[in-house]
Amino acid sequence: MNITISREVLLENLNIISRGLPSKSPMPILTGIKFEATDTELYMTSSNTDISVEVLIANQELIIKEPGKTVVPGKFFIEIIRKINAKNINLYLIEDRTLVIKADRIEYKLHIMDYMDYPKIDFVTLENPLILNAPVLKSLIKETVFATAASEKKPILTGVNFKHSQGNLIATATDSFRLSQKIVKINEYNDFNITIPNKSLDELLRAIDNYEDEIELYFSNNKLLAKYKNVLFQTRLLDGNYPDTSKLIPNEFPIVIKFNKDELVEAVERVSLLSPRDKEKDREITYSIIKLSIKKDSIIEISTTNATIGDAKEELIPTNIEANNPIVIGFSSRYLLEALRSFISTEISLNLSGEIRPFIIRGDKDSNLTQLILPVRMD
């Protein structure tokens, strides 16, 4: 293999390929990037068994002097290319054992890995795609993935469930303590019900961060492939049936409180500075407990009591309130803040049906987004 390529083009594609590189792997070969140069095209592949990524480079910034195949140590190769300042980079093999990287007066020699040891990656057949605009897919991920479970005790909850039915694409995430659901209208397509690992969605989100055009999605029984530009991004799917969450969302809300979102976020952030950190037994993480009270004069008080540090409270004037009786409800401030930040709306509403029943958050400009949080008993 002997190629010359624009450093800018190479680095841009390596940043995408890096999404599939494992930090650790029982298969050392997977820490490498597979290169395959044909007479006119260069393929680069990475995989960590959960995610596989392939990019195809075929443009005037690439000159292939000699086709060939190799596997190079991934992280070292990427760091080298990042540090090089030259416009073009020449890559060639010596006796199929060493990769030479030359750029201006710079030269590196990397010991390559055995190409024959690299596992065959079976990408999903590119037939019958579901086509989404990138901003739509990005919003589906951003507004739900944070609500997935961190613990592997219930593996299915570590992913976001994507379901299509009657022209609606529904993305749902829950960790048993909260729920996030986004619904978008799409063109006619076959019904499906899949759950995608949260880590895969995080990496896909980073990969398409600056991409704004169409993305093609292809499905198999246990894989999902996203195709855009010159990239194939494939992830495994989680096994098992995602729980039916439709009955979790209350239908009636005797108490509806509307806030300016930014004012509520800032108040919660200030009060939660002193909130006690408790541990959720299932997740072994800390979260901050605060309480919201409706006073008789329709003033909203957000407060916390910490026996070891002190107390904090702040009063807020809602933009509107519908409530017949006073109420005190406790919940995780972190859950509330993460839910609020998923909205683009400037005004949001807290819809309550009781002190120990789940409450719903909705936004005036986010009619298709629902956030649910389970309260904490305050006795």
Q: How far apart are CA 37 and CA 68, in angstroms?
A: 5
pLDDT in tens, 221-234: 899 999 999 999 99
In Å, what is the CA distance from 125 to each residue of 46, 62, 106, 220, 364? 18, 27, 41, 8, 41
The answer to whether residue 23 scores a pLDDT higher than 90 is: no
The answer to whether residue 284 scores a pLDDT higher than 70 is: no
pLDDT in tens, 26-65: 899 999 999 999 999 999 999 998 999 999 999 889 999 9
The residue-averaged pLDDT of 291-305 equals 90
CB 245 within 8 A of CB 147: no
Phi, psi angles (nearest 5°) of residue 41: -135, 155
Q: How far apart are CA 121 and CA 236, in angstroms?
A: 12
pLDDT in tens, 126-163: 999 999 999 999 999 999 999 999 888 899 999 999 99
Q: Tell me the average pLDDT of the chain.
A: 93
Residue 277 confidence (pLDDT): 66
The answer to whether residue 286 scores a pLDDT higher than 60 is: no
CB 49 within 8 A of CB 30: yes
The residue-averaged pLDDT of 70-76 equals 96
CB 324 within 8 A of CB 226: no
For the purposes of burial, counting CB atoms within 10 Å of the CB of 350, is it exposed (0-12), middle (13-18) or buried (19 or more)? buried
Residues 6+ apart with CB under 8 A from 86: 7, 103, 104, 106
Model's pTM, two decimal places? 0.92
The answer to whether residue 91 scores a pLDDT higher than 60 is: yes
Q: Extract long-range pairs of 168-171: CB within 8 Å, 24+ residues apart.
A: 169/132, 169/140, 171/140, 171/141, 171/143, 171/144
Can you read off the two tokens belonging to residue 87? 């416009």
Which of 74, 79, 148 lies closest to 113 in space, CA to CA?
A: 74
The answer to whether residue 281 scores a pLDDT higher than 90 is: no
The residue-averaged pLDDT of 64-83 equals 97
Residue 327's pLDDT band, with cuts at 50, 70 and 90, is: confident
The residue-averaged pLDDT of 93-111 equals 94
Residue 279 confidence (pLDDT): 55
Q: How far apart are CA 366 and CA 379, in angstroms?
A: 34
Residue 287 confidence (pLDDT): 59
The residue-averaged pLDDT of 307-332 equals 90
Which of 289, 203, 193, 199 lies closest to 240 in space, CA to CA?
A: 193
The lowest-confidence range among 80-89, 118-127, 248-257 is 248-257
Residue 282 confidence (pLDDT): 45
Can you read off the two tokens belonging to residue 13? 């594609």
What percent of the chain is predicted at pLDDT more than 90?
A: 82
Which of 119, 95, 99 lies closest to 109 in space, CA to CA?
A: 99
- C-alpha dihedral over 124, 126, 127, 128, to 10 degrees? 90
Residue 290 confidence (pLDDT): 92
The answer to whether residue 283 scores a pLDDT higher than 80 is: no
The answer to whether residue 25 scores a pLDDT higher than 90 is: no
For residues 271-282, one letter each, b for 16 or more C-beta atoms within 10 angstroms of the residue's C-beta and e for the rest, the string is bbebbeeeeeee
Residue 247's pLDDT band, with cuts at 50, 70 and 90, is: confident
Residue 70's pLDDT band, with cuts at 50, 70 and 90, is: very high
Q: For the chain, give the number of residues.
A: 379
